[in-house]
Structure 1
């Protein structure tokens, strides 16, 4: 998960969270400055909510 402005060009510098390959719910309590960009890993299916 990145705090980025677009779906491309995201780097480790703006990475907020790495989605693990373990089934479960993960709360990421981090302020967002630009936008939330979620990039699932290979074979992953994710559902994201933002509050």
Structure 2
């Protein structure tokens, strides 16, 4: 049995939870999220 997870929804969920817990970190969380999504978009073979 193979389980396939999409990384983008998991990152969005983690970012949303972190923003709720630590609103002052919003800029950092959004920046890291955008960088990760950009890297995944440039290298589609890195998808988990």
Q: Which TM-score band (shorter chain)?
A: under 0.3
Q: Which has the larger radius of gyration?
A: 2
* Between structures 1 and 2, the one with greater strand share: 1
Q: Under a length normalisation based on structure 1, what TM-score does the superposition of the two structures give? A: 0.17
* Between structures 1 and 2, the one with greater helix share: 2
Q: Under a length normalisation based on structure 2, what TM-score does the superposition of the two structures give? A: 0.17
